[in-house]
Amino acid sequence: MNRRELLKHIAVLTGASVVGADFFLTGCAPEGKTAGLFSAADVALLDDIAETIIPRTTTPGARDAQTGAFIADFVTHCYDDDEEKALIAGLAALTAAAKTQHNRAFGKLKQTEQLEVLSKIAAEAKVYNEQQTGDFIPHYFTLLQQLTLLGFFTSEQGYTQVLRYEMIPGPYEGCVDYKNGEKAWAN
């Protein structure tokens, strides 16, 4: 699927325009952004979060597609400073929530516990986003969801193994029968 189409679908799904992918630059962001703020530990945490959102099943998951590294790179180069700050503060909040609820780091939790922690935050994100008006940076969990979907569904694994992809599609057919369980076309 092309980039615009993907952004549109992610925006519909997460209820917020995809941050960092804005074509229409509004205002002037501050200069002198510091690159490479994400440590190896941050990338590992991002992988843990992304894998909870898109886990490995019979097909590859977010960690297989190195979604954590994508997120760090994308945020560093495509987010504005305040968007990046919101995300980093969010990661700290998420780590704290895991500590409070289970007294362990998020990465050390069992899969079911990770799901539990993120489900709670996802519910908070929904309420938070609904309360905002005008231009706003969505809740950090919404950012993480967007970044995970964006990274995963533009990865080789997401494109070719989770969706249906043909590099050279050949004939188009306008109307074919669809059976439940068949994957969406990546292209």
Partner 1 sequence: MQDTAHINTNGKHTHTYDAIVIGSGISGGWAAKELCEHGLKTLVLERGRDVKHIIDYPTYNTPPWEFPYRGHIAREQRKKNPLISKAAGYAADTAHFFIEDADHPYVQEKPFDWIRGYQVGGKSLTWGRACQRWSDFEFSAPQRYGYAVDWPIRYEDVAPWYSHVERFIGVCGIKEGIESMPDGEFLPGYELNCVEQHIKDVLWKKFKRHYVSGRWAHITQPQEIHTQQGRGQCQNRNLCMRGCPYGGYFSSVTSTLPWAQKTGNLTVAPHSVVHSIIYDEEKGRATGVRVINAQTNEATEYFARIIFVNASALNTNLILLNSTSDRFPNGLGNDNGLLGKYICFHNYRGNMGGDFEGFKDKYYRVTRPVECIIANYRNLHRQETDFIGGYTIFSGAYREKLSDKGIEPMLGAAFKEAISEPGTWGAYMYMQGETIPKASNHVRLSPDQRDQWGIPLLVTSVGYDDNDEKMVQDFLEQGRVMLEAAGAVNIRTNDTKQPPGLDIHEMGGARMGHDPATSLLNKWNQLHHCQNVFVTDGACMTSTGNQSPSILYMALTARAANYAVERLKKAEM
Instruction: Give contact residues for partner 1 (rule: CB under 8 A).
Output: 1-3, 5-6, 9-10, 12-14, 20-25, 28-29, 33, 52-55, 57, 61, 70, 73-74, 77-80, 115, 118-119, 122-123, 145, 149-151, 153-156, 159, 162-163, 166-185, 187
CB 159 within 8 Å of CB 183: no
Task: Look up residue 139 and give its DSSP letter.
Answer: P
The four Cα atoms 130, 136, 141, 144 give a dihedral, to 10 degrees, of 140
Cβ closest to partner 1, residue 42 vs residue 116: 116
User: At residue 184, what is the residue type?
Assistant: A
Task: Please state the closest distance from residue 12 (CB atom) to partner 1, in A.
Answer: 7
Cβ closest to partner 1, residue 119 vs residue 132: 119
Task: Please state the closest distance from residue 39 (CB atom) to partner 1, in A.
Answer: 20
Task: Please state the closest distance from residue 82 (CB atom) to partner 1, in A.
Answer: 12
Cβ closest to partner 1, residue 13 vs residue 89: 13
CB 105 within 8 Å of CB 124: no
Task: Please state the closest distance from residue 99 (CB atom) to partner 1, in A.
Answer: 20
